[in-house]
Amino acid sequence: MMRWLALLLIPFFAQAEDLSGAWQHWQYSRPLQSPPGPTAWLRATLPAEIYGPARTSLADLRVIDRNGKEVPYLLHAQQEQCQRAWRNAPVSDTGFTHGEYSQAVIDTGSNGAPHNAIQINLDQKDFFTWTEIAASDDRLNWRIVRDKAPLFRFEQDSLTNGQVLSYPRTRSRWLRLRFLQGEKALRATGARITEESKTEAQRAPLPAAFSLAARQADGESLWEADLGKPRPPVSAIHFETSQAEFHRQVKISSSDDGKNWRSAGQGHIYRHADDGKQRSELEIVFPESHARLWRVTLLNHSDPALPGLRLEMLGVPRQVVFKREVGQDYRLLYGNPRATAPKYELAQISRPEHWQAAPATPLGAEQRNSAYVSAEAWSERHPWLLWTALLIAVGGLAWMAINALRPDNAGAQETDK
């Protein structure tokens, strides 16, 4: 009796390494530790190392219960969301006061529609300037809504912020932009405005250690990182340095083989005190991408390299979210290179508020499926057999051709005639 009781108390996941039948093509699994209580939803954050065994797109993820039944799930990532509806805005009163600023006045329209972002077009190709933004209802009385916003473009280095500047929401008809770079004139040639609705991404550090490259170009600091086989999505680099004030251009590139490099992102990092205010931007955000090798170049020009510099790679983690049954156990499967992404109706019949308060479910250690059978075709799993057969066939044909050309065979054919 005690023996049978002990068997019943053995956790399901200790026996679940053999995933045969419908799940034999999934090479790895992790238990989802279901918390006690009547929680209707569960959500688990995927670790960065899952991108090595799993497909980069995560199309091979599956959730099953203890009976091997597939459980529908959502794959959630809190990405940055930005909604814009641009409208053109006339530019007037452009001018330049040497040693102080260039100026442009923007007419946002007489309908009183709210706005909080402007894209300004300047005819210069290479520049960096701080921009003061002021608003007015009568074009006479101005109030500063943002005292210093960075604006830049360096075509040679492919650096730009898109000439988009944000500021607090206002309905004021007039905007006055002053480009606080008094060495040369900056002339605005066009503008458009919008009311921008933005949700920030929820990023987390990734397990990547940056180190200084062996070779450094003049005027540059080159940092490199290797993510190894796992290639989690990366969308930002954070910088820290002991230097109190600085301003540097940054270029970010990535590669899978160390030979072919592609641009991943660019921008400026800075920190300085101005009029008693501390201003800083220590993070470069760029479109999410997957790569093994990463390279970050800081353009120091004639300045010394930043002391005590530390770089941190950031990415938006993915969460698996699904409905649970009380008392049921679950397992996350992955590692099937032929699997396609499932399509569940759960995305259409549920809303984020249904599961956002769900408790976080820890993922257990990775386990190999002892019953794993590759989903690849037989010929792909045993390519050496095909090559062997091909070599035998080629060898046989060569032997037949050589044998047919031998002198004794030719004489035999002549005698037959």
Amino acid symbol at 17: E
pTM of the model: 0.75
Mean pLDDT, rounded, of the chain: 86
Both structure tokens of 369? 């499926």
Q: Which helix (H) or strand (E) holds 227?
A: none
CB 202 within 8 A of CB 252: no
Query: 369 exposed, middle or buried (CB, 10 Å; 0-12, 13-18, 19+)?
Result: buried
* Secondary structure class of 241 (helix, strand, coil): coil
Q: Is the pLDDT of residue 8 over 90?
A: no
Q: pLDDT tier at 33 (50, 70, 90 boundaries)? A: confident
The radius of gyration of the chain from alpha carbons, rounded to an integer in Å, stands at 31
Q: Is the pLDDT of residue 85 over 60?
A: yes
Out of 116-125, 279-288, 320-329, 370-379, least confident range: 370-379
Summarize pLDDT for 280-329 with one digit per residue, the tens: 999 999 999 999 999 999 999 999 999 999 999 999 999 999 998 888 89
Q: pLDDT tier at 273 (50, 70, 90 boundaries)? A: confident
Which bin fits 29, alpha (ψ -120 to 50), beta or left (φ > 0)? beta
CB 119 within 8 A of CB 86: yes
**What's the confidence (pLDDT) of residue 44?**
94
Structural domains in the chain?
10-76+318-368 (no CATH), 82-199 (2.60.120.260), 204-315 (2.60.120.260)
Edge-first strand order for the sheet with 188-194 is 87-88, 188-194, 115-122, 164-170
179 CB neighbour count, 10 Å cutoff: 24
Residues across the chain: 417
Higher pLDDT, 5 or 32: 32
Summarize pLDDT for 105-114 with one digit per residue, the tens: 999 999 999 9
Long-range contact pairs involving 257-260 (C-beta distance under 8 Å, separation at least 24) = 257/293, 258/293
**What's the confidence (pLDDT) of residue 3?**
37
* Segment 387-400 mean pLDDT: 66
Percentage, residues of the chain above pLDDT 90: 62
Summarize pLDDT for 223-251 with one digit per residue, the tens: 999 999 899 999 999 999 999 999 999 99
**What's the confidence (pLDDT) of residue 389?**
60
Summarize pLDDT for 139-193 with one digit per residue, the tens: 999 999 998 888 888 766 555 556 789 999 999 999 999 999 888 899 999 999 9
